Structure formats: structure tokens, C-alpha cells
Amino acid sequence: IVIPPSAEKKPTKGEVIGVGEGACNADGKSVPLTVKVGDTVFYRQWAGTEIEHNGEKFIVMKESDVLAVVKIC
């Protein structure tokens, strides 16, 4: 397996800075999100879509791309 340099540097950890309202399940009922603003999360390497706003880079992704939420007790 050859891993290109671009793949080696892709971050997979970040801080949640905003969330939507959640989604609807097959029955049409609202399903609340489990992540919240301020959470530190690990996510799939190629998750979401990268955007740039006011010179800052962000990733917009589905909650299903989040692998873990870091909790410090």
C-alpha cells in the first residue's frame, strides 16, 4: 500500500463550531444530534466538504462521519 503525501497530512480531529437542527428518521420524527458546539471529535479522513470562509478553512460533514467524541472526565 502506497500512501501519498497528501493523505498523510489530512487532519482527522477537530472542534465542532456549529451544528444543524438534526435530521428526520424514516417515520418523519426528528432525530437530535449527539455532537454539540465545543466538542472535540475524530472523523473519517476524507469526510465532508472543505470550504473556506473569511480566510479560514472548515469542513462541513454529516454526523455519521464522526467516529468519536473526546470526553475528558
Domains and CATH numbers, the chain: 5-70 (2.30.33.40)
Report the pLDDT value the prediction gives residue 46, as an integer from 0 to 100: 85
Report the pLDDT value the prediction gives residue 56, as an integer from 0 to 100: 92
* pTM confidence score: 0.75
Tens digit of each residue's pLDDT (9 = 90 or more) over 1-46: 555 676 666 778 999 999 998 888 899 898 889 999 999 999 988 8
DSSP for 17-54, please give it.
------EE-TTS-EE--S--TT-EEEE-TT-SEEEEET
DSSP state at residue 63: G
